[in-house]
């Protein structure tokens, strides 16, 4: 998955432009910047690649989620439905706005189960946030129907699935809003960075203002700009955007390598009895950043994971025991461990997740192993790896 593996001359050239002009900020300093607007250029490229009207860069994927939620009007007490299998950033963004993260079960796609979402909707629900974990996607059509029926916003967290698609649309562009992360370990990287995409002008303008202290960005004198509403600082720097600009140009090259490596390994595992693969919804194309497969029982999965580690196959994750990606280990959320006071709404209405029944999610995640697909492997290394994995898994 990580773009940092292929960091090179193109990235250096873009960053050097910024260093030469000395303008590290994305706004203002028109005279000094020698025509370099790296954040703007990356936004233009992202709009084109994702086929959306608008794209806005921010300082991280977490910031993108926070700004996207804020841009859609999410505030204190509103409920956002998200999956039990995700990254902590998903609920952090919700909590940052005083809103309430409502966890819902996943299905064979390893992302939000539409039936669980339907059950979780209340009169307080404002957003449904599917998270396209490990390079593949939620079944977005039924989720969109639920959102349309209840007047909810569909926000895709595509931080781990940039470049994948669903029914011909790039992931992130199907919903009302889509978010990407360009942190150091994502498919393409800015070092730190993120972006949101949308076709909704109001959400875009809200995001553009909100992520820069509420600045209206009208005219050419930053000091004279007014603030139509309260905002915050989630700006990206030109240095980060310059890096991302070069990486975005290489996205399709990276995806091709990932698909090739993924396919070699998948072909080696497919004939093995007892191994199944995560369900990709009809019309979906993965970005191939991970290969996720399932075994028939938790015990077999645990021993397979151990076996892979012992055989020196690195980069394979057993999410069921993982501290970052599965609800079972989110003790800080369950026990509301906050430095300061949480909003009254969160204190009163955050469900007690230590008591929650997510056995449907457990059914999938306890049997899933996901293996990272690297860009830097040689053909020989991929084949070696596939052979090793097949040997370990057939022996069990
Ligand atoms: C990485 C990630 C984020 C957060 O991105 P950062 O840039 O690290 O803040 C959010 N959601 C998912 C699913 C991620 O993998």
**Which pLDDT tens digits describe the chain residue by residue (396 residues)?**
577 888 899 999 999 999 999 999 999 999 999 999 999 999 999 999 999 999 999 999 999 999 999 999 999 999 999 999 999 999 999 999 999 999 999 999 999 999 999 999 999 999 999 999 999 999 999 999 999 999 999 999 999 999 999 999 999 999 999 999 999 999 999 999 999 999 999 999 999 999 999 999 988 888 888 899 999 999 999 999 999 999 999 999 999 999 999 999 999 999 999 999 999 999 999 999 999 999 999 999 999 999 999 999 999 999 999 888 999 889 999 989 999 999 899 999 999 998 999 999 999 999 999 999 999 999 999 999 999 999 999 988
Question: Which strand (E) or helix (H) includes residue 39?
Answer: helix 38-50
Residues known to be catalytic: 186
For ligand 1, which residues put their CB under 6 angstroms from it?
60-62, 86-87, 89-90, 131, 157, 159-160, 181, 183, 194
Let me know if 300 is exposed, middle or buried by CB neighbors in 10 A (0-12, 13-18, 19+): middle
pTM recorded for the entire structure: 0.97
**Probe target for ligand 1 pocket from 1, 88, 89, 171, with the most ligand atoms within 8 Å of CB:** 89
CB 80 within 8 A of CB 94: yes
C-alpha triplet 52, 98, 109: angle, nearest 5°: 50
Q: In angstroms, what CA-CA distances link 354 with 222, 334, 341, 362?
A: 48, 6, 20, 14
CB 370 within 8 A of CB 290: yes
Report CA(225)–ligand 1 centroid distance (Å): 32
Question: Nearest C-alpha to atom 5 of ligand 1 is from which residue?
Answer: 61
Q: Is domain 3-250 annotated with CATH 3.40.640.10?
A: yes
**Taking the domains of the chain in order of start, what are their residue ranges?**
3-250, 252-395
Q: Which fold has domain 252-395?
A: 3.90.1150
Report CA(125)–ligand 1 centroid distance (Å): 23
């Amino acid at each position: 998955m990580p773009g940092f593996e292929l960091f090179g001359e193109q990235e250096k050239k873009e960053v050097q432009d910024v260093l030469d002009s000395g303008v590290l900020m994305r706004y203002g300093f028109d005279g000094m910047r020698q025509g370099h607007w790296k954040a703007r250029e990356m936004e233009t490229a992202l709009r084109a690649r994702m086929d959306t009207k608008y794209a806005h860069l921010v300082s991280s994927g977490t910031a993108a989620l926070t700004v996207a939620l804020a841009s859609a009007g999410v505030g204190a007490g509103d409920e956002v439905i998200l999956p039990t299998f995700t990254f902590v950033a998903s609920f952090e963004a919700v909590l940052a706005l005083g809103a309430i993260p409502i966890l819902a079960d996943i299905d064979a796609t390893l992302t939000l189960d539409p039936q669980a979402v339907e059950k979780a909707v209340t009169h307080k629900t404002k957003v449904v946030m599917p998270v396209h974990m490990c390079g593949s996607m939620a079944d977005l059509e039924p989720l969109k129907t639920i959102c349309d029926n209840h007047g909810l916003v569909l926000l895709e967290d595509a931080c781990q699935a940039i470049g994948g698609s669903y029914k011909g649309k790039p992931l992130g562009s199907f919903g009302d809003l889509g978010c990407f992360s360009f942190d150091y370990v994502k498919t393409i990287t800015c070092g730190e960075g993120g972006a949101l995409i949308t076709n909704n002008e109001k959400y875009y303008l809200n995001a553009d203002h909100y992520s820069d202290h509420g600045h209206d960005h009208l005219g050419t004198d930053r000091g004279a700009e007014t603030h139509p509403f309260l905002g915050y600082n989630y700006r990206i720097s030109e240095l980060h955007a310059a890096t991302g600009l070069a990486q975005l140009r290489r996205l399709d090259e990276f995806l091709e390598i990932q698909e090739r490596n993924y396919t070699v390994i998948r072909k080696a595992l497919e004939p093995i009895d007892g191994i199944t693969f995560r369900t990709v919804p009809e019309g979906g194309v993965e970005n191939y950043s991970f290969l996720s497969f399932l075994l028939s029982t938790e015990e077999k999965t645990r021993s397979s994971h151990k076996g892979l580690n012992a055989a020196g196959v690195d980069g394979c994750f057993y999410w069921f025991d993982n501290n970052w990606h599965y609800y079972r280990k989110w003790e800080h959320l369950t026990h509301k461990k906050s430095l300061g006071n949480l909003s009254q709404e969160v204190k009163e209405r955050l469900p007690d997740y230590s008591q929650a029944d997510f056995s449907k999610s457990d059914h999938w995640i306890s049997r899933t192993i996901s293996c990272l697909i690297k860009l830097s492997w040689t053909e020989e290394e991929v084949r070696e790896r596939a052979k090793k994995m097949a040997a370990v898994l057939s022996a069990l």
